[in-house]
Structure 1
Amino acid sequence: MKIKVTFADQGSIEKIHEKSIYILENIGVIMQSKQACDIFRQHGAKVDGEIVYITRKMVEDALKTCQSTFEWYGRGNTLTVGGGESLVFPSYGPNYVVENNVMRKPDITDFKNFHRLHETSDVLHGGTPYILEPWEVPSDIRNNYRMATTLKYHTKPVMGMTAGAKSSKDAIDMTKAFYGVEDKVVLLGLINATDPMSYPRDMVESLVEYAMHGQAILLTAGGILGLSTPSSLVGSFTVNNAATLAGVVLIQLINPGNPVIYGCQGSSSNLTEITLAYGNFATAKSIHLTKAVANYYGLPSRSGGSINDAKEVDYQAGAETYSNLFASLSSGSDFFIMGAGILDTVNAVGTEKYILDELLIKGILTQLNDTSVDEESFLMKDIEKAGPGGNYINRRTSKYYKKEFYLNPAFNNCNTNNWVEGGSPTVMEKAHKLYLERLKNFSDPENTPEQIRLLDRYIPKEYS
């Protein structure tokens, strides 16, 4: 037995696809890059200034060359994207840290500590240079510092810089040199279509660099419902889908077969205040729809995460986070960032929230595990021995209990007397203690002399 959640039927998905094709053929998408416009023009697309009109055939031809799965190399292990497992990655872009429910500007220690958490996590599968903004590092060296620090602390696969052509090329070259490989997918670059149906110049430049070098690309259309996209879920999703498909076409024109992850979740909004509302419960629908449409196109998907709009770790944070994480995992999303720690509509990442989200993911995965109904799982011998009015207290705990039930170590599931005798700890206090223990037990990954020399080029001693 297994929980199954379905949202979009085939007919609905086909309607979304047809409307998306209409948008691409008749309304077009902005590419703020002469290079990208020239590539489209050379392949027969109509181009008017920066507006590109993409035909149905171009979309269909591009989808034919896309991979449904690909291998992503790290120095310690390789991940299969689209292989059936939901790959969880950390925060991407927060400006603040929340510790003990106090929001503050992060420092270099925070930047390094979150990398340490990612590397030691048994829930997250990799790292990213965008976990926080390392404000102390001068802006002219910050991009390479972020990438080098990410490589320093991770043996898991990592995402790369996408702040334009130079930062992307530097990240690709640095990672290949650090790993000592040339012909593997070593980075995943996040490319975001921001304005309605528009790719900014830095995003297009990064897309081109990653595609030219055979590196994986995560496409995400970031249209905001009711603000930069229509105020209906399906209307907003369709506009974002068209923008995402435009990115797919460009990638495949540059390098047919280049790995790409489909991301079309978009953003919920609070129209009473004209602001983002990622945590809105409607986001869960978009998460499921993203996976369904990705399956329709035969692409691995990105959607979801521990996203919420709470300013501190409170009831709102827990409810919204659970809604979106459950949707992420129950939909079978192949990949998602913002996997743990997110607060304040992705504006902040919390230390205790990070630990609690890791544990929440473990609990949700237990919910989604198969429940055994084979002959042995009924434990009939135990039932016969206990008989009417008996109990099972002294029986050996079965393997089924260990698989089917999860006790969260940060939660207070004990009886009241034991809780009081233990000092009446709060969930936040227990999570903070687990956070400190993780950092205390961390040891830097071993680096070769060659790797150390490479890192020293990009990490000044005062920030190491």
Structure 2
Amino acid sequence: MNLMGLQGGQYRPLSPEQIKTVHEASMKILEKTGITYEQGLEDTVQMLEDNGAAIDRDRKKISFSNDMITEQVAKAPEKVVLCGQDPKNDLHLTENRVHLGTGGAAIKILDMETGRVRSTTLKDLYDVSRLVDQLDNIHFLVRPCIATDIDKADYDINMFYACLAASSKHVMAGVNDEQGLHNVIEMASMIAKGLDKLTERPFISVITSFAISPLKLCTQSTHIMQEANRNRIPVALSSAPMAGSTSPLTMAGTLAQLHAEQLAGITICQLTNPGAPLLYGGIPGMANLKTMGYSGGAVECGMMNAAIHQLSNHIKVPNYNSAGLSDSKVPDAQAGYEKAFTALLASMGGANYIHHSAGMLESMLTIAHEQFVIDDEIIGNCCKVLKGIDVDAEHLALEVIESVGPGGNFMTSPHTMTHLRTEYYNGNGVTDRKSREKWEQDGSLDTRQRALGIARKFLAGSKPSYIPEEIDKAIKEKFNILL
């Protein structure tokens, strides 16, 4: 059952009038309040001024006119295709087509053997990527954890290498600096057999956290974003305000500020290279005002992330956003219901590229192998909802009802056998629907224990390398590959 790229849009937290109101409010923010910037962005600021922005250099304030924003945003592609090394994993991001996958930059992992939390390593990233490669409902691979055991100088190239070697799905991650970006592009071009072929079928993309909420441009990330634009490498324009902390407490206020940040980022990209492929990257979240930390599992996060797709759809730009997070520290009931609510809301909202949807715990700080398996099951259920109910002659089954007749039994009908494995979502094996007696005979395992068993089975299998041997050798001769 193919559950990738299905149509969402059934859930619309904002009415058409509210979408227009939020968009107009964002335009007022950009014109009146404006955005500020860090040192080192003089060339970018000059580019904006040359194209109509009003610059107050004493206050470091950039103001945008409505016409300027509208003109530049219109140049952004309405459709972005993020490819896998295997074409079956290509993602067609447009309108209400939905894809869900991993995300984050976790620094901790629940050890499979001890169950205790520890720091993440490069090998963890490789193993998790291998696991994700085998979980059919996880549609793409955003680097889910940080390799805390390698030096910063080797970080970018090794993070992408570990993911590309372990999975044929699309790989997205951030980079530390422009040199790291150039190294990653060069490595990916070697795999693709040319930069031109890489840009034709981009199996990598880059997260650029260009905005420091509220309304401030980050120098390093903006430079990375623009360099990716110049090389036609797709970028996700990540900005992640927390309601009550780095954006207004109210959901509407957070959406208006975030939409303004996105409009500014898209404008910079299109002035840098018209038509540059990008994803509107709004990730609205909530601050836990008791701890001043991030609260990722709240149902309102699902609501706001569904609204983000409506706002990106309003300006006809595909979007990247977030769902499937949990504030729970372990794969428990809290993790289950927080993930299910937010993932389903974002999916039914029609979001195009929903990251953080698999593996994440403790508000993005921690991952767990078994959680990836459980989340694959949750994502599958979300996508089944999007698939809807087929209503045609075959599925109405009038002839079957006639042949069985009143008082009959459909159990042995050929029609039942035909649709047994396709009409209903069968899952990856983690969900238990046995009798209590059979469940007890099989060890009385709970969901987490069953998921651990599945993860161990997948990781015990063969280790396919998606980088051809001769190219792999050349990469290792050029770069300090540590895996």
Question: By the TM > 0.5 criterion, same fold?
Answer: yes
Q: Give, as a single letter, the amino acid of the residue that structure 1 aligns with 2:424.
A: F
Q: Which residue of 1 aligns with 2:470?
A: 449
> CA offsets per residue over residues 126-168 of structure 1, 9 Å max, x none?
334x321111112222222212222322333322443232222
Comparing 284-293 with 378-387, which one deviates more in the overlay?
378-387
Matched ranges for 1:33-432 at <5 A: 33-49=41-57, 50-77=60-87, 78-82=90-94, 85-99=97-111, 101-128=115-142, 130-183=143-196, 184-185=198-199, 186=202, 187-192=204-209, 193-396=211-414, 397-408=416-427, 409-432=429-452
**How far apart are 1:282 and its partner, in Å?**
0.6
1:14 to 20, 28, 34: 20
Secondary structure at the counterpart of residue 323 of structure 2 = coil
Secondary structure at the counterpart of residue 231 of structure 1 = coil
> CA offsets per residue over residues 431-463 of structure 1, 9 Å max, x none?
111101111223222514133221343344xx3
How far apart, in 1, do the equivalents of 2:405 and 2:161 lie? 64
**How far apart are 1:299 and its partner, in Å?**
0.7
> CA offsets per residue over residues 296-334 of structure 1, 9 Å max, x none?
100101223321111111111000000111112211211
**How far apart are 1:343 and its partner, in Å?**
0.5
Comparing 439-448 with 250-259, which one deviates more in the overlay?
439-448
How far apart, in 2, do the equivalents of 1:123 and 1:227 lie? 34
Comparing 300-309 with 310-319, which one deviates more in the overlay?
300-309
How far apart, in 2, do the equivalents of 1:173 and 1:151 lie? 13
8 Å CA contact 2:53, 2:65 repeated in 1? yes
1:5 aligns with 2:11: yes
Q: Give, as a single letter, the amino acid of the residue that structure 2 aligns with 1:47.
A: I
> CA offsets per residue over residues 99-118 of structure 1, 9 Å max, x none?
45532212332121012123
Q: Give, as a single letter, the amino acid of the residue that structure 2 aligns with 1:27.
A: T
8 Å CA contact 2:243, 2:254 repeated in 1? yes
Q: Give, as a single letter, the amino acid of the residue that structure 2 aligns with 1:92.
A: G
How far apart, in 1, do the equivalents of 2:191 and 2:404 lie? 61
Secondary structure at the counterpart of residue 145 of structure 2 = coil
Secondary structure at the counterpart of residue 208 of structure 2 = strand
Q: Give, as a single letter, the amino acid of the residue that structure 2 aligns with 1:4.
A: Q
Comparing 379-388 with 134-143, which one deviates more in the overlay?
379-388
**How far apart are 1:218 and its partner, in Å?**
0.8
Comparing 364-373 with 289-298, which one deviates more in the overlay?
364-373
8 Å CA contact 1:164, 1:201 repeated in 2? no
Secondary structure at the counterpart of residue 242 of structure 2 = coil
How far apart, in 1, do the equivalents of 2:9 and 2:278 lie? 29
Q: Give, as a single letter, the amino acid of the residue that structure 2 aligns with 1:424.
A: S
1:440 aligns with 2:453: no
Comparing 177-186 with 228-237, which one deviates more in the overlay?
177-186
**How far apart are 1:389 and its partner, in Å?**
4.1
Change (3 A) 1:393 1:154: closer
Q: Give, as a single letter, the amino acid of the residue that structure 2 aligns with 1:59.
A: I
How far apart, in 1, do the equivalents of 2:299 and 2:96 lie? 25
How far apart, in 2, do the equivalents of 1:223 and 1:236 lie? 7
Q: How many residues align?
A: 461
**How far apart are 1:427 and its partner, in Å?**
1.3
Change (3 A) 1:38 1:346: same
Identity among equivalent positions (%) equals: 18
**How far apart are 1:170 and its partner, in Å?**
2.2
Secondary structure at the counterpart of residue 47 of structure 2 = helix
8 Å CA contact 1:261, 1:301 repeated in 2? yes
How far apart, in 2, do the equivalents of 1:161 and 1:232 lie? 29
**How far apart are 1:270 and its partner, in Å?**
1.9
How far apart, in 1, do the equivalents of 2:82 and 2:134 lie? 19
How far apart, in 2, do the equivalents of 1:372 and 1:349 lie? 37
**How far apart are 1:387 and its partner, in Å?**
4.2
Q: Structure 2 length normalisation: TM-score?
A: 0.90
**How far apart are 1:419 and its partner, in Å?**
1.1
Secondary structure at the counterpart of residue 322 of structure 2 = coil
Change (3 A) 1:148 1:259: same
Change (3 A) 1:442 1:334: farther
Secondary structure at the counterpart of residue 44 of structure 1 = coil
Change (3 A) 1:430 1:160: closer
Change (3 A) 1:403 1:275: same
Secondary structure at the counterpart of residue 402 of structure 1 = coil
Q: Which residue of 1 aligns with 2:5?
A: none
Which ranges in structure 2 are unaligned for 5 or more consecutive residues?
1-7
8 Å CA contact 2:125, 2:162 repeated in 1? no
Change (3 A) 1:362 1:326: same
Change (3 A) 1:177 1:259: same
Comparing 97-106 with 329-338, which one deviates more in the overlay?
97-106
